Amino acid sequence: MEAGEIDIYRTAFDKKRVVSRVGPGSVLGDIAMFGGGEYISSAQAVGRVRAFKFERDRLLPELAKHPALCLRWLVAGLRQLEVTQRRVIHLMHKTVLAQVADLLHEESKVKADVELSQAAIATLLGASRQTVNESLATLKEIGAVETGYRCITVLDRDVVAQVAAEDRS
């Protein structure tokens, strides 16, 4: 993908749940394409997106002819895997409040308005929507965030970072 943002979502029980948002430089669908498996997620553009689509039977011969392109593709996929792995390891021993704060702190590096619903945050963190709601209420009470429809505005990144740094120990 060259420009824009895309929500990656999964559908279960006729309910769509956003599990990730990706931006420029991301590669989508390559694991299923190269592995010959099924796609486990779907994608939806968030605003305007510039992306390239490749069919498997045309892409593989091109990658074989151009090792530099193949390496670039591999590096892009490994970067995405590394980001996911770091996030999982980083969040493993934190309370849900600290996890929510950490997610908001990371997402607000780009812009103060984090356009994720409480349900999407719950899915991303593997938490209940109620626990995410309670965590956001706590962050709101201390003046760190303001909440709206599918949008959380980070008002004080330092306070959010301080809450994110707290762990269970």
11: domain CATH number? 2.60.120.10
Examine the fold and report which residue of 25, 60, 91 is the final residue of a domain before the chain moves on: 91
Examine the fold and report which residue of 91, 116, 143 is the final residue of a domain before the chain moves on: 91
**pLDDT at 72 (0 to 100):** 83
Domain that residue 160 falls in? 96-165
Q: Is 54 helix (H, G, I), strand (E, B) or coil?
A: coil
**Structural domain count of the chain:** 2
Amino acid making up residue 153 = T
Look at residue 102 and tell me whether its pLDDT is greater than 80: yes
If asked whether residues 77 and 111 sit together in one domain, one would say: no
* Confidence label for 140 from pLDDT (cuts 50, 70 and 90): very high
Q: What is the pTM of this model?
A: 0.58
What is the C-alpha to C-alpha distance for residues 161 and 167, in angstroms, rounded to an integer? 12
If asked whether residues 76 and 129 sit together in one domain, one would say: no
If asked whether residues 107 and 150 sit together in one domain, one would say: yes
Asked whether 139 and 160 are in contact (CB, 8 A), the reply is yes
Residues 1-29 have pLDDT tens digits of: 788 888 888 777 777 777 778 888 787 77
